[in-house]
Amino acid sequence: MTSKERIIKTLNFEKPDRIGRHHLYWEEFEDNFKKEKGMDEANLDDYFREDIYILYPDEGPFPSKECSCLKMDGNSIYQRDTWGRIIRKKNNAKFIEVVETELKDKSDIDRMAFEPADIESRYSNIPDINQLKQRYCVFLKIGGFFQRTSWLRGEEEFLVDIALEPEFVKELASRTADHILGIGLEALKRWDLYDTGVWLFDDIGSNRGTVISPASFEGIFYPQYRKVISGLKKAGVNKILFHSDGNIEGILDMLVDAGVNVINPVEPRSGMDVAKLRKKYGKKLCMIGGADNINILPRGSRKEIEDMTIKILDVAKDGGVVIGVHSVGPDIPVANYEYYINLIDKYGVF
């Protein structure tokens, strides 16, 4: 069974040959693994038999404004991205500081013109798509409408806007959603990913719940999800997937109602639990993830790793679950991770 056949069967609640896998590896973990195993040329996706690859276009509204170096300041570089943000990044840093955003004043909204979806540069920086399709189940990734809209205003300003100016935020989010839908439809046409699906990434969860209230989500962002998902499914998209870190149970009913078929990464540290969610949603909702990369994989005993893995595999035995984690970082010992994978190899064959 190919990776694509395996994943699509799983997301249709049909029993695959084995459980599908989706793990993203930090470069530091990959370096640790290669050093310990003496396998300098190892491809971890192949070694651990990963099944999913995610392609994403440049969905920024302002590609023409991008600038890789506005100025240098010591060991920091200032850049402008395609969202119009001026960002500061230190050499070799993983994170950025946003110095300036595009929409500094709410009154500028009507002067803000998003550039067209069919600009060639949005889709040019990808590997060989036919080769990827032969090896993986390939999905299209586009951004969600909470996080992407916040990039136009800045995170702090945006949260204040949600509290004090919800109608302004709804209008801005609607324009962002229309733009991202256009990008998604163009990417689907170019890359022919209708038969797998579209993965919406929108980090709206924290360990204690959603960053904004369910009521704010319902009033502002839920209509955008309904609109965009409807447009994608009308175009012929098979599955709609949704990624958010943290606990999203407070808005999950709305996401399912809007047309989301699959959620990821289902983080146990935030109270998300594959068995509990399966009991509540049955075959209305598939899950990709479920493993604990914060406590159990980095520091857990062999028994804790086994109990966690067997619990996920038990839920997955009739389809609907792809095992995985948010990411595999350098805090996870190679021995622990290999033990986890060996358990999947042993008990995850159906």
Q: What residue type is 1 in one-letter code?
A: M
**pLDDT at residue 92, rounded to an integer:** 81
| Statement: residue 91 has pLDDT above 90 | no
d(CA 166, CA 161): 6
| Statement: residue 83 has pLDDT above 90 | yes
| Residue 66 near residue 121, CB atoms below 8 Å | no
CA nearest neighbour of 287 among 314, 319, 310: 319
The angle formed by the CA atoms of residues 161, 245 and 103, to the nearest 5 degrees, is: 30
**pLDDT at residue 321, rounded to an integer:** 98
Token reading at 142: 């586009």
Token reading at 305: 């790793």
Q: What average pLDDT does the segment 88-94 reach?
A: 88
> Is the model's pTM score more than 0.85?
yes
Element spanning 219, H or E: none
Summarize pLDDT for 225-250 with one digit per residue, the tens: 999 999 999 999 999 999 999 999 99
Q: What average pLDDT does the segment 3-31 reach?
A: 97
pLDDT grade for 263, boundaries at 50, 70 and 90: very high
**pLDDT at residue 26, rounded to an integer:** 96
Helices (H), the chain: 3-11, 27-37, 44-47, 129-135, 147-153, 155-164, 166-191, 214-216, 222-234, 249-258, 274-281, 296-299, 302-316, 334-347
Q: Give residue for tokens 């070694």.
A: 47
Q: Residue 34, exposed/middle/buried by CB under 10 A (0-12, 13-18, 19+)?
A: middle
Q: What's the start-to-end Cα distance of the chain, in Å?
A: 12
| Statement: residue 184 has pLDDT above 90 | yes
Number of H helices, E strands in the chain: 14, 14
| Residue 323 near residue 312, CB atoms below 8 Å | yes
Q: What average pLDDT does the segment 291-314 reach?
A: 98
**pLDDT at residue 5, rounded to an integer:** 98
pLDDT grade for 140, boundaries at 50, 70 and 90: very high
d(CA 139, CA 136): 9
Q: Per CATH, which fold does 3-61+105-347 belong to?
A: TIM Barrel (3.20.20)
d(CA 174, CA 152): 13
Q: What average pLDDT does the segment 126-155 reach?
A: 97
Q: Give residue for tokens 């993965």.
A: 199
**pLDDT at residue 93, rounded to an integer:** 84
**pLDDT at residue 15, rounded to an integer:** 93
**pLDDT at residue 37, rounded to an integer:** 95
Share above pLDDT 70 across residues of the chain, in percent, rounded to a whole number: 100
pLDDT grade for 94, boundaries at 50, 70 and 90: confident
Give the domain ranges of the chain: 3-61+105-347, 63-101
The whole-angstrom distance between residue 19's C-alpha and the CA centroid of its chain comes to 20
